[in-house]
Chains A and B, each alone.
Chain A
């Protein structure tokens, strides 16, 4: 499905990462890797270190910390917030929405909208789509998009498919009406027939958590995990990404009438370095235009990975320049989405530690 949005812009990005850093070497004994294989995978996949929350820290802690940072620095005024969109798969409760919890903790005005969206790897794109649509309302001028996940708490430490890569974090993206006319091109597709390619099987209403669902079981590759843990069919996800993402980007650029080389950066979801390098090669995009350095430095924090990539790689540059950027997210759902937009003169674009 192709989408277009008019006269909207991102005016600031703040990424909040837990200060607790875990190195791949510290957890290597959990996995059945030889030293030689570990070193090889470290290079290829980007296994290195990741940011993980300490026990008891939840997404509202990260989001409230970041928003208070912006209030204190006078980069954002409480009364200007007309909507809080929170995209997460680590909600604090089944009910109420965690966005309402955040609104309450911050003492924001009642005359606003709070909503949670259950999405992951494409959560930045879907959150932006929702923000753009809300901004079509006369009374909504500033939307705060929160992407936040602490999925490390749902990954088995003995799952070498997921644990070395997972990261926690939150991002705060300010989305506003643009004074300068513009058109943002986007597209999105979904395939619910593969809903179990990335899944936490137990813990919801269908399969509530019990002592049985908490039992650790070894899979054919030697990973130990329970039904309460996140499980990923890595091969299926890899093949889905290689099959679906390149034509999606080609289609987006065709609709926008933009040549590949005219795009300054391709800021894609950061599943692992190997997958991103393969995507860049397939799309015939220089690898330096598609940064893949988030997993090795911070871990893959689901919908937070793109804002993290933007803050980490373009930081102050996006506060001084105008760049044409292609965003793409792909994963859980299955969902895949992309956007092409001009990003320029952000008020802030940085990473802070929690």
Chain B
């Protein structure tokens, strides 16, 4: 799943390397509009609806946090 997430992030911001273990939000690699794009892409790809209350920077800062959010939404690892 991690590689799929990296691929999606790469589609949204191809100029960055998302395989690095850094916080994408803090490093300015993802802004709030990228998060909107990421949410809609994840929802389309995995057939889920992410709760609006979960659309917080801390849930999109790393591949691990995004994976955790997907698992919370019923996506199997």
Contact = CB atoms under 8 A, between A and B. Distances in A.
A44 interface: yes
Interface string A242-258: 11000000000000000
Interface string A216-254: 000011000000000000110011011100000000000
A142 interface: no
B40 A40 contact: yes
B22 interface: no
Given A40-B40, A44-B40, A235-B57, A282 B52 contact: yes
A45 B40 CA distance: 10
B51 interface: yes
B56 A234 contact: no
A234 B32 contact: yes
B51 to A, nearest CB: 6
Contacts of B32: 221, 234-235, 238
Interface in B4-46: 11-12, 28, 31-34, 36-37, 39-41
A275 B11 CA distance: 23
B53 A243 contact: yes
A309 to B, nearest CB: 20
Interface string A267-291: 0000000110011011000000000
B43 to A, nearest CB: 10
Contact of B36 (A33, A41, A241): A41
B55 interface: yes
A313 B45 CA distance: 30
A241 B53 CA distance: 9
A281 B53 contact: no
B58 to A, nearest CB: 12
A37 interface: yes
Given A234-B32, A235-B32, A278 B40 contact: no
Nearest to B53: A242
Contact of A45 (B34, B36, B51, B57): B36
A194 interface: no
Contacts of A234: 32
Given A235-B57, A239-B56, A160 B33 contact: yes
B65 interface: no
A43 interface: yes
Contacts of A242: 51-53, 55
Interface string A27-60: 0000001001100110111000000000000000
Contacts of A33: 33
Nearest to A279: B52
Contacts of A282: 51-53
Given A234-B32, A281-B49, A37 B55 contact: no
Given A235-B32, A235-B57, A278-B55, A37 B49 contact: no
A197 to B, nearest CB: 14
B55 A44 contact: no
A278 B67 CA distance: 20
Contacts of A274: 36, 39-40
A61 B34 CA distance: 39
19 contacts: A33-B33, A37-B33, A40-B41, A41-B36, A43-B40, A44-B39, A44-B40, A45-B36, A160-B33, A221-B32, A235-B32, A239-B55, A242-B53, A274-B36, A274-B39, A275-B52, A278-B55, A282-B51, A282-B53
Top-4 shortest CB links A-B? A242-B52, A278-B52, A40-B37, A44-B40
Interface of A: 33, 36-37, 40-41, 43-45, 160, 220-221, 234-235, 238-239, 241-243, 274-275, 278-279, 281-282
